[in-house]
Structure 1
Amino acid sequence: MKNLYNVLKGPCLTEKASLLQEEEGQVVFNVHPKANKIEIKRAVELIFNVKVKDVRTANMHGKQKRVGKTIGFTSEWKKAYVTLSEGEINFVDEL
């Protein structure tokens, strides 16, 4: 990944993500499938001007969906759990 703005696709806005943000100071992002932890950490630190403590990633598999007789799959994507350092503000509320 050359461009850091292509690494982050957007925030993952779910109930679990909001609970993690409130309780543990973690933010969840949808990221590019080929992005690694180092690129994700750099992108979050440079774009949002915060200090990142830890990054965990998870590959999410596409679910089977059916429309009429046709059966297909939703696209696969990658999710990153970013833990902010102590004293950092929750910046996703401003998005």
Structure 2
Amino acid sequence: MSIIVKPIITEKITKDGEIFNRFGFVVDKKANKVQIKKAVEATYGVSVVSVNTMNVRPDRTTKYTKSGLISGKSNAYKKAIVQVQEGETIDFYNNI
């Protein structure tokens, strides 16, 4: 079971990484904070101070098209915000 699905790279998370040493990841829905902490430490070689998790609900959309009303939704996922120790950083743009 892979705990970390992918990193989240947005303007807000990138700014948090530069200022507060916090990085975001999409993680497995069944993973807990201890498993996430161990997976990040093993993958990126950093010391994790804290882990905050949240379940993101699916977004529902409705489109009015020529053929009628089309509705859909995105997938739900679990997001983890990981704070690493002062002086350490995770670089998502270089290959590991």
Which structure has greater strand proportion?
2
Structural RMSD (CA): 1.3
Using the size of structure 2 for normalisation, the TM-score is: 0.86
Residue of structure 1 aligned with 2:33, choices 31, 37, 56? 37
Structure 1: stretches of 5+ with no match in the other structure: none
Q: Secondary structure at the match of 1:92?
A: coil
Task: Kindly tell me the number of residue pairs found equivalent between the two proteins.
Answer: 91
Measured in 2, the distance between the counterparts of 1:22 and 1:65 equals 34
Task: Decide whether the 8 Å contact of 2:7 with 2:24 is kept in 1.
Answer: yes
Residue of structure 2 aligned with 1:26, choices 22, 32, 46? 22
Task: Decide whether the 8 Å contact of 2:44 with 2:90 is kept in 1.
Answer: no
Measured in 2, the distance between the counterparts of 1:81 and 1:49 equals 17
Task: Decide whether the 8 Å contact of 1:28 with 1:81 is kept in 2.
Answer: yes
Identity fraction in percent: 32
Q: Secondary structure at the match of 1:94?
A: coil
Task: Decide whether the 8 Å contact of 1:29 with 1:81 is kept in 2.
Answer: yes
Measured in 2, the distance between the counterparts of 1:93 and 1:26 equals 16
Structure 2: stretches of 5+ with no match in the other structure: none
Task: Report runs of 4+ in structure 1 exceeding 4 Å deviation.
Answer: none
